[in-house]
Amino acid sequence: MTTDWSTVKGVLIDLDGVVYTGRIPIPGAAGFLAEARQRELKFLLVTNNSTTSPELVAERLHGMQIEVSPHEILTSAQAAVGYVKLHAEPGARVRVVGEAGLRQEVEHEGFVVVEDGEAHADWVIAGLDRAFTYEKLANATRDIMRGAHFVATNADALLPVEGGEVVPGAGTMIAAIQTATAVQPVILGKPEPGLFEHGLRRLGGLAANEVAMIGDRLDTDVDGGRRAGLHTILVLSGVTTPAQAANAQPPPDAITSDLASVARLFWP
């Protein structure tokens, strides 16, 4: 069935491979965002990265001449803490296994951050932590074994870095805690539905069939968007090759070269 793109009122847009590659902006991305604002198409730029705040993400984009506001950014840290906010008591005690972006979001929502050596927490939220230690693992394990709820920002086992290398990602730390506790966390990042559901709320409560996910990865962006009931658009400006796109099952609703081509899809 052909998608009527004129019915789409909002979009979730992946960052790396769609808006930029590494430190280099992808041509046409800034123009798409500017036109989206002009045409009142709601959008959020989404990332599984939980280590930095929306303010720092916006600042980085500003350095690439891509003008966005922090409120137009959605991180997996925001989705994870948003999930806790929906299910926890106000002022709940939260242990953070993660970096500044995750901790700041927990504090912003009014939860009490449990420090190492303090009494046990009601919730454990885990994400990428490049200072992960045995002590952090032990503290999180004790909390969960005592009944704390276990939430994870994303399950990415590896994190690509510049130069074509990879390093351990959030999923590696989460797997250690899960192995120690035998407790499966609630995972919020792509391709799990939580980040997409949080995005729909941030877009003013739009229905899933009114929103499209735009990304460069079949396994996280397209699969996650489809599972959440969104329309899906695969761009070929990132990691997915044309051959891989052609063989995708089920296929995305549209395949385009980049965000500039998405603009022509929405506004022919």
Taking a C-beta distance cutoff of 8 angstroms, is the pair 177, 140 a contact? yes
Q: Is residue 56 helix, strand or coil?
A: helix
Residue 14 bears catalytic tag: yes
Instruction: Provide the H-helix boundaries in the chain.
Output: 29-38, 54-62, 76-87, 100-108, 134-145, 170-181, 193-202, 223-227, 242-246, 259-266
CA distance 191 to 156: 10
What DSSP character marks residue 129?
A: -
Q: Which helix (H) or strand (E) holds 194?
A: helix 193-202
Q: Supply angle C-alpha 118, 119, 125, rounded to 5.
A: 85
Taking a C-beta distance cutoff of 8 angstroms, is the pair 126, 51 a contact? no
Q: Is residue 174 helix, strand or coil?
A: helix
Write the Ramachandran bin of 196: left for phi over 0, alpha for psi from -120 to 50, otherwise beta. Answer: alpha
| Tokens 């385009």, located at residue | 256
Q: Give the count of alpha carbons within 13 A of 129, CB side only.
A: 25
Q: Copy the structure tokens of residue 157.
A: 């086992």
- Catalytic one of 4, 14, 156, 216: 14
Q: Which amino acid is at 164?
A: G
- Catalytic one of 4, 16, 143, 156: 16
What DSSP character marks residue 193?
A: H
Residue 16 bears catalytic tag: yes
Q: Is residue 203 helix, strand or coil?
A: coil
Where in the sequence numbering do the catalytic residues fall? Answer: 14, 16
